[in-house]
Amino acid sequence: MNGTTVHERPPTSASWRIALPHTTAAVPVARALVRTALTAPEHAADRDTAELLTAELVANAVEHTAGRGPIELVVDVRPTGCQVEVHDPDPAPPGDLTHPSTEEPDVWQEGGRGLLLIRALSSSCGHRPTESGKAVWFRLPAPRQPRPF
């Protein structure tokens, strides 16, 4: 290249915030938003895992909190990965998210595995109080890029 330096544009960060209805209709909308947010190569993270964990968070917010208004989805994407938060109006912390239960989920029950999936598949997860309730979140790292030879 004759000593010419090529400068690549540095990866950028992006955030999305959207109010969702406090109904099960919010789940596919949230999945689609996360998939869209993670389509750019510089915003890469495991889209399938992000969609699955987002669906779990939104479904839990809809099922386990009173319907006193919308829930909110916040997707923060950085070159190092992504963080997804779901804000709901209930200040009570989600059960067994950061302190796992020692009991095995009942194999005959439909539910009871969402928080287990979030703990197992995310790099970190947690919850925090907000002015209007709480935010439950997870982080996923960006996939490792193969090293050039």
CATH number of 44's domain:
3.30.565.10
| Mean pLDDT for the stretch of residues 91-117 | 65
The structure's pTM equals: 0.79
How many CB atoms neighbour CB 118 within 10 A?
Answer: 24
Type and span of the H or E element at 29 = helix 26-37
Residue 120 domain-assigned? yes
With a cut of 60, say whether residue 97 has pLDDT above it.
yes
Supply the pLDDT for residue 10.
47
Which band of pLDDT confidence, cut at 50, 70 and 90, is reported for residue 28? very high
Domain range enclosing 71: 14-95+113-141
Residue 6 domain-assigned? no
Residue 2 domain-assigned? no
Residue 86 domain-assigned? yes
DSSP 90-112: --SPPTTSSS--SSPPPTT-S-S
Residue 43 domain-assigned? yes
Which band of pLDDT confidence, cut at 50, 70 and 90, is reported for residue 8? very low
Residue 125 domain-assigned? yes
Give me the number of domains the chain comprises. 1
Residue 100 domain-assigned? no
The Cα-based distances of 124 to 36, 50, 109 in angstroms read: 22, 13, 26
Mean pLDDT, rounded, of the chain: 81
pLDDT above 70 coverage of the chain, percent:
72
Supply the pLDDT for residue 21.
94
Supply the pLDDT for residue 52.
94
Which band of pLDDT confidence, cut at 50, 70 and 90, is reported for residue 149? low
Residue 4 domain-assigned? no
